[in-house]
Amino acid sequence: MVFDPKLFKYSWAKKIIPICVISGLGYIDFACFYSLGYQEIYKYHSHGVAISLWVILAWCEICVIVYWILLLIEGPGRSPRVRPFNLYNSEDTSDLTPVPDYFFCDESGYPYWCSQCQSIKLPRTLHLKDKNFCVLKFDHYCVWVGTVIGQKNYKYFLKFVIWFLMFFIVALIYLLRYTKLNYYRGTQDIDHNYIVLYILSGFWILILLALLIVHLHYVVYNMTTVDDININKLKRYLRWKAHNDKTKKKDVRGTPGEETGIRYINVRYNNTRVIVQYTVRDTPFTFGFKRNWQNLWLNNNRTNGDFVEHESSYSPKRLAISFFLFFFPYVDMIYPSKEKKIVRDVEKSTAESLYSSRLIEYEQYNEKISKNFVEYISNKIKKKEFHIPHYLPSFQENNDEGSTPDGL
């Protein structure tokens, strides 16, 4: 859940809610295990049912704690430092990276730059001030668990949500079954802990269920929370703009943040570079449900690496394995996912090979774009809907060349 008020710019403030969650979980354990499990079910109904409640809740809670710890230990994923691209074909390449076939850029054609990290920004990265590094595939800061959710710990976040949700569903089922019996057992009243348990269970089930549904939607389309926020900001801005155009009045009080939704990609074409405009609605990283789902569970939430290069990686068998990893706890901790090749294996004995290795490392972290998006970009180039980067001379059209961007 995204919740980022000004209070949470202080590190001490970010620890408050996780501590409150742990304290609340301690009280819920007391209400479930003692008040409901022992005082009601074990003493007046069935020892076996009480034991089943304790075992199931304990299992769910252990899963919650384990995945919470994994979220913190694994971390969101740190982006490597990428040296500036050699946009001007400089002969001195000691601190430069070869220009890739494509990269996301501003309107002038320059790549995004992180001044804190002194690095090219990879797609969907965001600088984390607390840790002083850029987070790969930044999703959101979760105040409930007290950490940032990114590329590396996203699947653990989903498992955390699932088992936290299961905990409260199980507690609510047993509570509904025995509340009436507790009421009519001569006292004409119910244990007050049950009332609190109803409130907490109802609250958390609604929150966690909504959170799970939203993030499963993100997985299906390979989106992040930031992507969704940008799309919704665009929708609000367009509605506001259409309303003002219709009424001819400026609604200053309800002015949303301006979000045109326009983005740019710099691609190699006809031995030069061109800039193509697209919008946040074009979702360049969406590969379809099957590939997006398997990339999360079998490729460490990445769209690059050897895994995506082979069609056999997306077989029905592997799809079944990915669902198995989703539904069953702890298996995802031991099942071998495809990892990046270590760039140290690349020969770096000469300046030229060192220069080339930087591009190899960049490509290992750079997110691949989908075939549909490549086709979309190619069609725009075919229609001459592009412009030349400011750092290059005017484009000379070569009619003998095709319209497909080079290397995509």
* Per-residue pLDDT, 92: 87
pLDDT at 14 over 60: yes
Higher pLDDT, 198 or 348: 198
d(CA 344, CA 346): 5
Name the nearest CA neighbour of 156 among 30, 319, 329, 353: 329
* Per-residue pLDDT, 399: 47
User: pLDDT tens-digit profile of 319-333?
Assistant: 999 999 999 999 988
Catalytic residue among 32, 63, 117, 142: 142
* Per-residue pLDDT, 352: 64
pLDDT at 408 over 80: no
Name the nearest CA neighbour of 33 among 48, 50, 45, 47: 50
pLDDT band per the 50, 70, 90 thresholds, residue 186: low
pLDDT at 9 over 50: yes
Q: Is 116 helix (H, G, I), strand (E, B) or coil?
A: coil
Pairing mode, strands 140-142 and 147-149? antiparallel
pLDDT band per the 50, 70, 90 thresholds, residue 93: confident
Query: What value does the mean pLDDT take over residues 9-22?
Result: 79
DSSP symbol at 33: I
Query: What single string gives the DSSP state of each residue in 225-268?
Result: HHHHHHHHHHHHHHHHHHHHHHHT----TTPPPP---EEEEEEE
Cβ-based burial of 79 (10 A; exposed 0-12, middle 13-18, buried ≥19): buried
CB 313 within 8 Å of CB 298: yes
User: pLDDT tens-digit profile of 39-74?
Assistant: 999 998 999 999 999 999 999 999 999 999 999 999
* Per-residue pLDDT, 345: 46
Query: What value does the mean pLDDT take over residues 229-248?
Result: 80
- Measured in whole angstroms, the distance separating CA 155 from the mean position of its chain's CA atoms is 9
Query: What value does the mean pLDDT take over residues 247-266?
Result: 73
CB 261 within 8 Å of CB 230: yes
Higher pLDDT, 271 or 30: 30
Cβ neighbour number for residue 224 with a 10 Å cutoff: 21
pLDDT at 395 over 60: no
Q: Please, which residues have CB within 8 angstroms of residue 105's CB and are 6 or more apart in sequence?
A: 111, 112, 264, 265, 266, 275, 389
* Per-residue pLDDT, 265: 97
d(CA 334, CA 332): 6
DSSP symbol at 370: P
Q: Where do the domains of the chain lie? A: 11-74+140-223, 102-133+261-387
* Per-residue pLDDT, 318: 93
pLDDT at 400 over 70: no
Query: What value does the mean pLDDT take over residues 205-229?
Result: 96
pLDDT band per the 50, 70, 90 thresholds, residue 106: very high
Cβ neighbour number for residue 280 with a 10 Å cutoff: 20
- CB burial string 336-355: b at 16+ within 10 A, e below: ebeeeeeeeeeeeeeeeeeb
Cβ-based burial of 126 (10 A; exposed 0-12, middle 13-18, buried ≥19): buried
Predicted TM-score (pTM) of this structure: 0.88
pLDDT band per the 50, 70, 90 thresholds, residue 16: confident
* Per-residue pLDDT, 312: 86
Cβ neighbour number for residue 307 with a 10 Å cutoff: 19
Query: Average per-residue pLDDT in the chain?
Result: 87
142 is catalytic: yes
DSSP E strand stretches across 270-396: 272-279
Task: Point out which residues pair with 267 in neighbouring strands.
Answer: 102, 274
Higher pLDDT, 205 or 191: 205
User: pLDDT tens-digit profile of 111-130?
Assistant: 999 999 999 999 999 999 88
H helix or E strand, kind and range, residue 155: helix 154-183
d(CA 288, CA 305): 18
* Per-residue pLDDT, 343: 44
pLDDT at 26 over 80: yes
Query: What value does the mean pLDDT take over residues 269-285?
Result: 93
d(CA 325, CA 323): 5
H helix or E strand, kind and range, residue 96: none
Assign residue 300 a region (left: φ > 0; alpha: ψ between -120 and 50; beta: otherwise): left
